[in-house]
Structure 1
Amino acid sequence: MSMLSVKDLTAGYGQVRVLNGISFEVAQNEFVGILGHNGMGKTTLLRTLMGYIRATGGTVELEGQAITRLSTHARSRAGMGIVPQGREIFPGLSVRDNLRMGMAARKVDEAAEIAQILQEFPRLERLLDRTGGALSGGEQQLLALARCLCAAPRLVLLDEPTEGIQPSIIEEIVETLHALRKKRDLTVVLVEQNLDFIAELADRVLIIQKGEFTNTLAPSQLADVEMVGEFVGFGAG
């Protein structure tokens, strides 16, 4: 079953077009990576899928439902979530209240939901009363992912999750995402430049250049520095 179907998607900023007819599909429970230089349209694509940027052409469907013209909050209710680049947690709120914000649109038992999230993100338990701004970069990234999951998305868009994060927490994120994939039947679209990270998670990797997908690589091909360099111009790390 197709979780996400995108056809001929165009978008940009004012008169500047960034996405030039993007088309791809993501199956249910699939993890798809997107790789490319800065400025090629990776973040614009995720923000357009989430509805922060208005599509100027093409269509987006989530589990067969047309969402191209839906607002961001309507897409969230439909089952899509995003963990943005830079995390964008609420630095002045406690970890507990950041999590509560994630489930604000749902009529749920907040205590029970937080208890469930803490089983999946045990590192956050001792941090519940600490403000988000006092956390390390890695802890903030775990919080951003946990907050996103509080809205119970079936599809998660991840934008540069390893940026500025220590290696130990990068590995923890990998393990957490593998567990969530099995437990929640999660589907993920991942934008990332850390080749090791994307190779550990993605089923396939789409190469984006100038707002278009130009190739598809298997995760094993990311170890070939010359091949990766041919498409995107940077190596592992």
Structure 2
Amino acid sequence: MSALLEVDDLRAGYGRVPILAGVNFDMAGGEFLGILGHNGMGKTTLMRTIMGALPTTAGSVRFAGTDVTKMATHQRSRLGLGLVPQGREIFPTLTVMENLRMGLAAAKSEDRAVMDGVLEDFPRLKRLLDRRGGALSGGEQQLLALARCLCARPKLILLDEPTEGIQLSIIEEMIETLQTLRQRWSLSMIIVEQNLDFITQLSDRVLSIQKGRITGEVDRAQLLSGDVAMTAA
């Protein structure tokens, strides 16, 4: 069976500053893959490069058998890639409903009825449809960012630092929601995180990233015991 996502010697950066120094990994359809590392190791740059928000300087990205390396972000979105960015990036002056409608911009016209289905999996948001995004708590904004992404019916979601600044109760709700979505929507997901408990509960396997390179796979027994050293060496 071919991989859903294949990342080969991927390199990218900002201006003349290289960040990704040759990233290699692949993942199967239906897999939840965790990527673990300290700040500054290239996690967010990797997500943005896979999504096409940052151009590659070398290497390639193949998604569902298609080389998307040179494709624009909206083209990758229409193929089934979705990003829930670090910091959430919702529209604070728009209502929850309006934010969700923005998520439909990348959807095919026949998929526009998907919003009702998305809301069934986010009961907390159903009570807040008329509230402005900026008035939500950090956790509610994270749920909204995830729901907005789902409106485009992605096959693979790139979830970047979802627990950052989020209260514990929402983190637990998010874990339950993602586990439900995995079964109901047949999703694949890359989860970039520093929260060991979150990434352990959701991931089939976890890769470590250091200085812009994948340095290996983290043993699940280590994750379960919490005995993981994310060194910068």
State if a TM-score over 0.5 links the two structures. yes
Following superposition, the deviation at residue 219 of structure 1 comes to: 3.3
> Structure 1: which 5+ runs fail to align?
none
Secondary structure of the residue aligned to 1:2 is coil
1:199 touches 1:220 (CA, 8 Å); kept in 2? no
- 1:62 equivalent in alignment to 2:63: yes
Greater CA drift, 197-206 or 214-223 = 214-223
1:82-114 deviation digits (Å, cap 9, x = unpaired): 00000000000010010000012331464x322
- Show the counterpart of 2:17: 16
Does residue 5 (structure 1) correspond to residue 18 (structure 2)? The answer is no
Deviation at 1:118, TM superposition (A): 1.1
Residue 206 (structure 1) aligns with = 207
Q: What secondary structure sits across from 1:163 in the alignment? A: coil
Letter in 2 for 1:214: T
SS of 1:103's equivalent in the other structure is helix
- Residue of structure 1 in register with 2:116 after alignment: 115
1:38 is the counterpart of 2:39: yes
Q: Output the CA distance in 2 between the equivalents of 1:115 and 1:151.
A: 13
Structure 1 residue 175 displacement after superposition = 0.8
CA offset at residue 225 of structure 1? 4.2
* Distance (whole Å) between structure 1 residues aligned to residue 122 and residue 44 of structure 2: 26
String of CA shifts for 1:182-217, please: whole Å, max 9, x gaps. Answer: 111100001001100000001111011110111101
3-state DSSP of counterpart to 1:86: coil
Supply the distance in 1 between the matched residues of 2:130 and 2:66 (Cα, whole angstroms).
39
Q: What amino acid does structure 2 have at the position aligned with 1:53?
A: L
Per mean C-alpha deviation after superposition, the further-off stretch among 58-67 and 100-109 is: 100-109
Instruction: Note the C-alpha offset of 1:12.
Output: 0.5
Matching residue's letter, 1:232: T
In the TM superposition, what are the counterparts of 1:174-193 in structure 2 within 5 Å? 174-193=175-194
- Post-superposition offset of 1:221: 1.6
Q: Deviations over 1:6-61 (max 9, x none)?
A: 10100111111111110100100100111111111000000000011100001100
2:161 matched residue in structure 1 = 160
The share of aligned pairs that are identical, in percent, is 60
Q: Give the SS at the match of 2:11.
A: strand
Query: Which residue in 1 is equivalent to 2:231?
Result: 232
- After superposition, the CA RMSD in angstroms is 1.3
Q: TM-score, normalised by structure 2?
A: 0.95
Q: CA deviation at 1:220?
A: 3.3
- TM-score norm. by structure 1 comes to 0.94
Moved over 3 A (4+): 223-226
User: Which residues of 2 match residues 65-144 of structure 1 at below 5 A?
Assistant: 65-106=66-107, 107-108=109-110, 110=112, 112-144=113-145
CA contact (8 A) 2:95 2:131 kept: yes
CA separation of 1:184/1:218 partners in 2, compared to 1, >3 Å: closer, same or farther?
farther
8 A Cα contact 2:3 2:26, kept in partner: yes
* Distance in 1 (alpha carbons) for counterparts of 2:226 and 2:28: 28
Helix, strand or coil for the counterpart of 2:127?
helix
Task: Give unmatched runs, 5+ long, in structure 2.
Answer: none
Aligned-residue offset at 1:232:
3.3
Q: 1:108–1:94: structure 2 CA closer, same or farther, 3 Å change rule?
A: farther
